[in-house]
């Protein structure tokens, strides 16, 4: 598996509009896009920081995994997304071979035109890990 960079950091928030004054007004970043991802039950907002993006995640339903994360006391960084150069399918097969627990057995469509798949935090030092490609 070849990882070229951190593509984005996913940050769980209860309400995107409540945190934008910090990200935009204090950090001086610019939200360039918001997008609802129906199958993940989240609204996302993207801000660019150099080569890396910040993906704010707001749950759109009580049974969203992001809502569960927040309800369980989770705050802030929710996942780290790595860009893989050799394809998400190949990376998943490699991780599977290494005994890593997969949340997604196959790539699916994520926000911001990415193909994504998640690895289970139980296998990744507690860090929910997303693999992605454009």
Question: Which residues form the interface with Zn ion (CB under 5 A)?
Answer: 10, 55, 81, 130
Q: Which residue is nearest to Zn ion (CB)?
A: 10
State which residue, 25 or 50, has the beta carbon closest to Zn ion.
50
State which residue, 66 or 81, has the beta carbon closest to Zn ion.
81
Residue 19: Cβ-neighbour burial (10 angstroms; 0-12, 13-18, 19+): middle
Distance CA(19)–CA(39), nearest Å, equals 24
Which alpha helices (DSSP H) does the chain contain, by range? 16-20, 65-71, 88-97
Q: How far is the CB of 108 from Zn ion (least distance, A)?
A: 12
Q: How far is the CB of 105 from Zn ion (least distance, A)?
A: 18
Report in angstroms the alpha-carbon separations of 131 from 4, 9, 36, 69, 113: 11, 12, 20, 19, 13
Q: How far is the CB of 71 from Zn ion (least distance, A)?
A: 20
- In three-state secondary structure terms, 104 is coil
State which residue, 80 or 93, has the beta carbon closest to Zn ion.
80
State which residue, 10 or 59, has the beta carbon closest to Zn ion.
10
Distance CA(17)–CA(96), nearest Å, equals 38
Q: How far is the CB of 26 from Zn ion (least distance, A)?
A: 23
Report in angstroms the alpha-carbon separations of 93 from 10, 11, 98: 24, 27, 9
Q: How far is the CB of 132 from Zn ion (least distance, A)?
A: 7
State which residue, 58 or 130, has the beta carbon closest to Zn ion.
130
């Amino acid at each position: 598996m070849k990882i070229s960079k951190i593509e984005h950091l996913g940050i769980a928030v209860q309400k995107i509009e409540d945190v934008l004054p910090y990200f935009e007004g204090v950090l001086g970043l610019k939200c360039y896009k918001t997008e609802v991802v129906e199958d993940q039950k989240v609204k996302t907002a993207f801000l660019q920081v150099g080569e890396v993006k910040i993906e704010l995640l707001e749950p759109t339903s009580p049974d969203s995994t992001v809502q569960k994360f927040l309800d369980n006391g989770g705050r802030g960084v929710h996942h780290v997304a790595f860009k893989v150069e050799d394809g998400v399918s190949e990376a998943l097969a490699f991780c599977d071979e290494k005994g890593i627990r997969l949340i997604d057995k196959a790539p699916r469509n994520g926000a911001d035109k990415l193909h994504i798949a998640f690895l289970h935090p139980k296998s990744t030092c507690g860090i929910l890990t997303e693999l992605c490609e454009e």
